[in-house]
Structure 1
Amino acid sequence: MSPLPEIPSAVRRVAMISVHTSPLEQPGTGDAGGMNVYVLETARRLGERGVEVEIFTRRTSAASAEVVPVAPGVLVRHIDAGPYEGLSKDDLPGQLCAFAAGVMRLVAISPEGHYDLVHSHYWLSGQVGWLAADRWNVPLVHTMHTMAKVKNRSLAQGDRPEPAGREIGEEQVVRAASLLVANTEIEARELVELYDADPARVRVVPPGVDLVTFAPGDQQAAREALELPQDAELVLFVGRIQALKGPDVLLRAAAEMVRRDPERRRRLIVAVIGGPSGSGLEKPRALQALARELGIADIVQFVPPVPRQELAQWFRASDAVAVPSRSESFGLVALEAQACGATVVAADVGGLPRAVGSAGVLVQGHDPAVWAERLLAVLDSTPDERKALVDRAVEHAQRYGWERTTDELLAVYERACRDARTDVADDAGSGRLLELPLAEAVIP
C-alpha cells in the first residue's frame, strides 16, 4: 500500500454512484449513515478543486427533483428504479438493472468522454459502476464502506447474516474495479485476504471530519442549549439503531453502572441519538423495551437523528461517547466526537482503533461489565485527567480534515486515469485489436 506519486491533473468530471442511500438524507436512521457524509463531503471538496461531481442515487420520493445542485460543481441526480417507498436495501439487487438503465439513458445525450472516472460506494453501487465504467470506457474506483464477509464474522446474537448473493456481488466488484479505496489498513488487508484483491490495486484513504462544524466548545453552554442539567453525567450513543452498532451493550453497561452505585442514577443520562436501521427495523421499539427490562428507562433518553450543528452540541455536552459496534469499517462518529473534545469509549474492532487512536479508550469485546468499568473510569476521572483526554481527542481529530481525504482521493483518481491511458497506449502500440463493449459493437 505504497503512497501515490504526484502526477499531472487528469480528472475533470466524476460520476459517483450511491444507489441505496442519498447524500441528501439525514444520517442516523434507515440506511443513512457515515457513507452519506463521506459522499457529500468529498464531493463538495472535489467541487472546490474544480472537479465536477455528479452523484447518481435512487429516487425515494415523488417530491425529489430530478437534479439537485448541492454545492458549486456538485449535482445529485435522482434515478427512478422501483417504487419510491417500501423497498428495503435487501430488495434493491432486483432494481439494479432498472437503475443502471436509468443512468445510461440519462447520460446517453452527453458527449463521448463526458466522465473521466466512476467512483462507486457500497457493493450495490459497484455493480452499476462496473457496467457504467465499462460502457463509458473509463476507470472504476470503488469504496466498499462495509463488507459482508467481515460483518458475518461479527454478528450479534439473533442477527441474520448477509446473504451469499452479496458476497458474490462484492467479489465481482473487487475484480472489476481499477482501484479499491479502503478506509484503513485493516480494511485493506481484509480486501486482500477475504476477497483476493490485488494488493497493488488497493489504496488506503482515511475518511475525514468537518473541523468547522465539529469543533471544541464550552460544555456548560452546550448543555444549556440542549436544556440538559449542568450536573448530569452524560453518556452518548450516536448512530443507526441496529444490533451491529451495539447500542444494547451500552444500555446493559448503564444498568451495571447504577447497580454498582445506586446514587449514580440521580445524575446519569444515557442519550441514544438515532433511528432504527437494518435488522432494527423489524423491532423498532426493541431498545426501549430493553431499557424497561433493565430498569433504566428513567435514565435513557431516545433522541431522533439531529442536524449536524446540533449533533456537535451533544458531543460538546457529553462526558463520554460510547461506540460499542460489533463491526465498523471506520467509525466516523468517533472522529466527529473527538473533534468536539469528547472522550470516546469504543470497541476495539475494524477501523475504530484508527479512528480513535490513543486519544480515547478501546474496549476488548462487548461484555457489559467491562464496558461499565471503562465508562466509570472516564466519568470518575479528575479535572486534570479529563482535560488531558479532551486535549488528546482534539489533537487527534485535527489530523483528519476532509481536505486531507480529498487530496489522497484525488491522487487515487489521477492514478486510475493514468493507468487507463497507459493501458490504451500499450494496446495500441502492440497492434492488438481493442475490444469494444458489446453495446458499442452492435449499436451504430
Structure 2
Amino acid sequence: MRVALVSEHANPLAAVGGVDAGGQNVHVAGLACALAALGHEVTVYTRRADVDEPDTIPMAPGVTVEHVPAGPPEPLPKDELLPYMPAFAAHLARRWQSERPDVAHAHFWMSGLATLTAADLLGIPVIQTYHALGTVKRRWQGSADTSPDCRLAIERDIGQRASAVIATCTDEVKELTAMGVPVERVTVVPCGVDLDLFRPDGPIMRHADRNGYVRILSIGRLVPRKGVDTIIEALRHVPGAQLVIAGGEADDDESLRLGKLIAASGLGARVRMIGSVERADVPTLMRSVQVVVTVPWYEPFGMVPLEAMACGVSVVASAVGGHLDTVSGCGMLVPPRRPRVLAMVLRDLLVRPELRASLAATGVRRARSRYGWPHVAAQTESVYRSLIGERLDGLATAGG
C-alpha cells in the first residue's frame, strides 16, 4: 500500500522539545516507520522550514520525508501557517496526480484542510487524526488561545468530510461527537511507544547532587498548559523530595516564569531545571527517579506517562484526555491545577515503595500489551484497508 502521511508543522525529523515540536512529531515518525515495517511505502509531507532542507530525504527503510514549499522556508509558529495551506494543498495535488497514494492520513487540522483539498478530485480516501482539538484548547486557554478564529468551524468540516477519523483516546470521541462528527466514522487508535527505547532495564542517569532526596521528574515542552507550576507549588508540601524539570531552554519565557516561581517559593535547593534532554537519553533519566509527574490542564493523548510506564516508573498524571485511558488503573490520577491534592498523593506515594513497585509493574504490562508501535500500526492499517475496500467496491459497482 502507498501511504501519504501529511503533517504540515510537525516534521518527524525535528528535534523534540520546542514549542511546536512534541508528541505529534514522535507519533508521525513512529507510525511511518511501523507502517513501513509492515511492508507499506510511506511518504511524510511536511512544510519546508529551512532553505537548506532537501526536497526529499530518506528517514528509514520504506519511509521518505518530503519538504513541501509553502510559505517562507523558515520556522514559523504553527498558528501562523493557515495562509500557506493553499500552496501546501496545490503541491500535494501535483505530486499525487503522478504518484497517487492509496490513502492519505492527515495529522492536525491544517493538514486535514490541505489533504482534503488535494484529495477530493483524485478520489483518495482521507483519514484525519487531530492530535488536538480547537474546542478543548479554547475551553482551557480562553483569550490566550492564539489559534485562528476559523479553526473550530474548519475542524468540524474536516470531521464531516473525511472518510474516517482516528481518535487517539476515548475522551476525544466524546468531543468529536459533540462537534457533529459522525461517530460511525471514528475509530480509537492510541499513540504508540518505542518499546526498544523505553524499557525497564538499561542505564540510569547519575545525578550530580547526591543529597538523599527522593526524585520527582517533570519532562516535556515548557508551555503554561503543561502545569509545571502546579508541581512546583505542590513541592512546597512534599518534604524530602527534589523536582527535576527537563525541557525548554534557560532563556525562554516559560523557563523564566518558572524560575521566578521557584525562587519566590524558596525551593531553589529542591528544584533542578536541566533544560532539553536528547530523546535517546530520556529513558535513562526516567529510570533515575521515583515518580514521573505530568499534570497538564488538558492533554489530547500524553506521551510522557506512557513512556514512563514503559520504563517501569510510577506515574502521577492529571485526569484529562488520553491519561484516562493510559494511566487509569496503573498510576495515580489527580485533578489539574490542584497543587494541594497533588502534594497529598505524592506524599503518600513516596513513602510507599511497595505501591510504587506495584503501579510500575502494572504500567509496564499495559504499555507492552497495548501501545507498542507494531500493534498501533496494525490497528491503523486496518482502518486504511477498510477504506480501500469500500473504494474498490464502489468502483466495481459503478462499472456494472
Deviations 1:3-28 (A, max 9, x none): xxxxxxxxx10111000120111222
- Are 2:234 and 1:248 aligned? no
Structure 1 position 205, deviation (Å): 0.7
- For 1:183 and 1:367, how far apart are their aligned partners in 2? 26
- For 1:230 and 1:413, how far apart are their aligned partners in 2? 53
Runs of 4 or more, structure 1, over 4 Å off, are: 280-284
Structure 1 position 357, deviation (Å): 2.7
- For 2:209 and 2:390, how far apart are their aligned partners in 1? 55
Structure 1 position 161, deviation (Å): 6.4
Amino acid of the residue matched to residue 271 of structure 1? V
- For 1:309 and 1:343, how far apart are their aligned partners in 2? 20
Structure 1 position 327, deviation (Å): 0.8
Unaligned runs of 5+ residues in structure 2 are: none
Matched position secondary structure for 1:269: strand
- For 1:191 and 1:234, how far apart are their aligned partners in 2? 38
Q: Which of 269, 273, 284 does residue 246 from structure 2 map onto?
A: 273
User: What is the alpha-carbon root mean square deviation over aligned residues?
Assistant: 2.1
2:216 corresponds in structure 1 to: 235
Unaligned runs of 5+ residues in structure 1 are: 1-11, 430-444
Does 1 or 2 have the higher relative contact order (CA < 8 Å, sep 6+)? 1
- For 2:367 and 2:75, how far apart are their aligned partners in 1? 38
1:187 corresponds in structure 2 to: 172
- For 1:412 and 1:373, how far apart are their aligned partners in 2? 43
- Are 2:344 and 1:373 aligned? yes
- For 1:77 and 1:161, how far apart are their aligned partners in 2? 28
- For 2:209 and 2:393, how far apart are their aligned partners in 1? 60
Seen in structure 2, the aligned counterparts of structure 1 residues 393 and 252 have a Cα distance that, compared at 3 Å, is same
Structure 1 position 206, deviation (Å): 1.4
Seen in structure 2, the aligned counterparts of structure 1 residues 252 and 73 have a Cα distance that, compared at 3 Å, is same
Seen in structure 2, the aligned counterparts of structure 1 residues 270 and 362 have a Cα distance that, compared at 3 Å, is same
Percentage of pairs with the same residue? 33
TM-score (norm 2): 0.94
Q: Which of 200, 222, 230 does residue 204 from structure 2 map onto?
A: 222
Amino acid of the residue matched to residue 366 of structure 2? H
Seen in structure 2, the aligned counterparts of structure 1 residues 283 and 270 have a Cα distance that, compared at 3 Å, is closer
- For 1:251 and 1:64, how far apart are their aligned partners in 2? 40
Which structure has the larger Rg over C-alpha atoms?
1
1:87 corresponds in structure 2 to: 76
Structure 1 position 252, deviation (Å): 1.0
Structure 1 position 217, deviation (Å): 2.7
Seen in structure 2, the aligned counterparts of structure 1 residues 52 and 86 have a Cα distance that, compared at 3 Å, is closer
Please say if residues 48 and 74 of structure 2, whose CA atoms lie closer than 8 Å, have aligned partners that are also in contact.
Answer: no
- For 1:233 and 1:309, how far apart are their aligned partners in 2? 24
Structure 1 position 238, deviation (Å): 1.3
Please say if residues 155 and 161 of structure 1, whose CA atoms lie closer than 8 Å, have aligned partners that are also in contact.
Answer: no
Structure 1 position 235, deviation (Å): 0.9
* Equivalent runs, 1:136-175 vs 2, <5 Å: 136-155=122-141, 159-160=144-145, 162-175=147-160
- For 2:95 and 2:3, how far apart are their aligned partners in 1? 15
Amino acid of the residue matched to residue 150 of structure 2? G
Seen in structure 2, the aligned counterparts of structure 1 residues 282 and 159 have a Cα distance that, compared at 3 Å, is farther
Amino acid of the residue matched to residue 222 of structure 2? I
Please say if residues 152 and 161 of structure 1, whose CA atoms lie closer than 8 Å, have aligned partners that are also in contact.
Answer: no
1:289 corresponds in structure 2 to: 260
Please say if residues 26 and 305 of structure 1, whose CA atoms lie closer than 8 Å, have aligned partners that are also in contact.
Answer: no
Amino acid of the residue matched to residue 361 of structure 1? M
Matched position secondary structure for 1:211: coil
TM-score (norm 1): 0.85
- For 2:333 and 2:271, how far apart are their aligned partners in 1? 23
